[in-house]
Chain A
């Protein structure tokens, strides 16, 4: 990354490039910062996952072993949980994207001159405390919460429903709620680039609004829809805070196991191996996502 000062801009590539010094001045802190706080920690994590135990200091040499991975592969429950987390993330991403689509459609085509204001109104909750918004759902779903109180008051139920909180259902509901405004953004971006003259032409040719949606808007906004899906799906697989707060024992996700290994059980090498698996899973998803979405096309370049 650094050994390239002679490859600066072709336009400025003279031997006495006036920007050469600046290039090093900028790249050294950037490279050192990224190496020290991003790459080095990940390398340490990978190294730790090949250790048999935590005896001695972490910097001491050790005989690499696949013990942790053997254990991990032999224990079905970890894979099970990874599968469940992926399924939850898939469900959350699908629901959030579907719910966000009409919102984006409204903002792009029907909100008129007030679209900017409507957009900001949607995004404001997204900028408020994550922890608190998740906690607010406890107040919604809890035994003496809003939903139960309303149902009890209207006489629809006699006893408060306990099945609303501390399970996978509450995790999915809370995550969908958190992600909707976020999922809407890439869809809106894709719709913003649709040439409205296409709609006009279609209308002139007597296409019904439904036909316009199916033949023009849907296909042209599809890259945004797929981007939205992945932008929710990828971070949700590795989520652990929401299940920690509203998931209870039934709503545990993969990240919670890792958190327990580091905070409570102190089996760091196994926790590191589990994290490495999650990192690999995430990178695979990112690569698949980039292949499908093709960000360059989405950015309209």
Chain B
């Protein structure tokens, strides 16, 4: 590669990039290998997850839909994730509005509090919430998991909405208020609609964070497990594993679609 002048960033750096390119593809292959492996075992007819492979089958996928406990666990995960992302998105949007539109004492503290769940180990948060729920007599169940997930999703929702609110033209708000709109009306008619893609994206992100979450759910789940907790409980039983992997492959495809959708929406 010669050092020709080019508008493309980095073209002028010179030197060979084939080594780096090779490294990139090698790492990419390593990152995808375990996922590909899961997919292979989800269509392999052998019940034990080992080599050599036996034959192609979709039996695990059909069996999946005939396993009521499994479907119930997935259903619970959906309910928990909807609740958690609703709470996290509403609170996150409020905090993002406070941080971007108001000056007040304790702003630094509010920022730290909103970010804190990202830094504290999940088991510490889980232990703290478990103690609280027991102290005030709240039985463990789907609501307790949802609250835990709302807490850990809060930093994500706050930051996503905040990025959007910081990025847009404040003059639109001033214009709205100069034209006689009250601040709540401005919020409703100008700010929220402009932030809507970020709010939607925050909701989807929170949903995927919650749906897959295991570390907190293991502590906070009552008798009815969410899908990751159910999955963990079933890992001991080798015979059910292919069905679980098939479920996970479907869910992975689903959550990937959601994430890509969230990105699309945010970039609008």
Cβ B9 vs Cβ A109 within 8 A: yes
Cβ B34 vs Cβ A177 within 8 A: yes
- Which residue of the partner chain B has the closest CB to A33? B91
Which positions in B face A, CB cutoff 8 Å? 3, 8-15, 17, 20-21, 23-24, 27-28, 30-35, 37-38, 41, 48-52, 87, 90-91, 94-95, 97-98, 101-106, 109-110, 113-114, 116-117, 119-125, 127-132, 134-136, 147, 150-151, 177, 182-184, 187, 208, 212, 214-215, 218-219, 228, 231-232, 235, 245, 248, 251-252, 255-256, 259
Specify which chain B residues have a CB less than 8 angstroms from the CB of A262 in the assembled complex: 127, 130, 219
Q: How far is the CA of A279 from the CA of B116 in the complex (A)?
A: 11
4 closest cross-chain pairs (CB), A and B: A238-B121, A144-B50, A136-B34, A58-B135
Q: How far is the CA of A1 from the CA of B228 in the complex (A)?
A: 37
Cβ A240 vs Cβ B215 within 8 A: yes
Q: How far is the CA of A127 from the CA of B231 in the complex (A)?
A: 18
Which residues 141-156 of A have a CB within 8 angstroms of B? Answer: 142, 144-146, 149
Specify which chain A residues have a CB less than 8 angstroms from the CB of B251 in the assembled complex: 129
CB distance from A226 to the nearest CB of B (A): 16
Which residues 1-45 of A have a CB within 8 angstroms of B? Answer: 1, 3-5, 7-10, 18-19, 21-23, 25-27, 29-31, 33-34, 37-42, 44-45
Specify which chain A residues have a CB less than 8 angstroms from the CB of B109 in the assembled complex: 1
Cβ A58 vs Cβ B131 within 8 A: yes
Q: How far is the CA of A239 from the CA of B124 in the complex (A)?
A: 10
Cβ B123 vs Cβ A258 within 8 A: yes
Q: How far is the CA of A133 from the CA of B231 in the complex (A)?
A: 13
Residue from A31, A37, A109, A125 within 8 A of B150 (CB atoms): A37
Specify which chain B residues have a CB less than 8 angstroms from the CB of A157 in the assembled complex: none
Cβ B35 vs Cβ A259 within 8 A: no
Cβ B255 vs Cβ A129 within 8 A: yes
Specify which chain A residues have a CB less than 8 angstroms from the CB of B35 in the assembled complex: 125, 128, 133, 136
CB distance from B129 to the nearest CB of A (A): 5
Q: What is the count of residue pairs linking A and B with beta-carbon distances less than 8 angstroms?
A: 253
Cβ B132 vs Cβ A44 within 8 A: yes
Specify which chain B residues have a CB less than 8 angstroms from the CB of A112 in the assembled complex: 8-11
CB distance from A146 to the nearest CB of B (A): 7
Cβ A38 vs Cβ B116 within 8 A: yes
> Within 8 Å of chain B (Cβ to Cβ): is A234?
yes
Residue from B12, B14, B252 within 8 A of A128 (CB atoms): B252
Cβ A132 vs Cβ B91 within 8 A: no
> Within 8 Å of chain B (Cβ to Cβ): is A55?
no
Residue from A29, A59, A144 within 8 A of B91 (CB atoms): A29
- Which residue of the partner chain A has the closest CB to B6? A112
Say whether, besides A19-B183, A129-B255, A282-B120, A196 and B151 are in contact (CB < 8 Å).
no
Specify which chain B residues have a CB less than 8 angstroms from the CB of A298 in the assembled complex: none
Task: Kindly specify which of A64-72, A73-81, A100-108, A161-169 makes contact with the partner chain.
Answer: A100-108
Q: How far is the CA of A48 from the CA of B133 in the complex (A)?
A: 13
Of the candidates A21, A105, A127, the one having the most CB atoms from chain B within 10 angstroms of its own CB is: A127
Residue from B129, B183, B248 within 8 A of A41 (CB atoms): B129
Say whether, besides A38-B117, A209-B14, A278-B124, A127 and B208 are in contact (CB < 8 Å).
yes
Say whether, besides A127-B259, A128-B252, A240-B123, A275 and B128 are in contact (CB < 8 Å).
yes
> Within 8 Å of chain B (Cβ to Cβ): is A229?
no
Which residues 200-241 of A have a CB within 8 angstroms of B? Answer: 200, 203, 209, 212, 234-235, 237-241
Specify which chain A residues have a CB less than 8 angstroms from the CB of B134 in the assembled complex: 58
A-B contact pairs, 30 of them (CB 8 A): A1-B110, A8-B102, A8-B104, A9-B103, A21-B183, A34-B110, A37-B151, A103-B23, A106-B24, A109-B10, A111-B24, A112-B8, A122-B27, A129-B248, A129-B251, A129-B252, A131-B214, A132-B245, A136-B35, A139-B34, A139-B38, A196-B10, A209-B15, A234-B119, A235-B121, A238-B120, A238-B122, A255-B123, A278-B123, A282-B124
CB distance from B52 to the nearest CB of A (A): 7
Specify which chain A residues have a CB less than 8 angstroms from the CB of B103 in the assembled complex: 7-10
Cβ A199 vs Cβ B13 within 8 A: yes
- Which residue of the partner chain B has the closest CB to A181? B31
Further 11 A-B residue pairs, CB within 8 A, beyond A1-B110, A3-B105, A203-B14: A26-B97, A26-B98, A30-B98, A103-B27, A106-B20, A118-B24, A144-B49, A149-B51, A238-B120, A240-B215, A255-B123
Cβ B98 vs Cβ A27 within 8 A: yes
- Which residue of the partner chain A has the closest CB to B110? A1
Q: How far is the CA of A172 from the CA of B134 in the complex (A)?
A: 35
Specify which chain B residues have a CB less than 8 angstroms from the CB of A139 in the assembled complex: 34, 37-38, 41, 49
Specify which chain B residues have a CB less than 8 angstroms from the CB of A234 in the assembled complex: 119
Specify which chain B residues have a CB less than 8 angstroms from the CB of A48 in the assembled complex: 131
Q: How far is the CA of A112 from the CA of B24 in the complex (A)?
A: 14
> Within 8 Å of chain B (Cβ to Cβ): is A110?
yes
Q: How far is the CA of A278 from the CA of B124 in the complex (A)?
A: 7
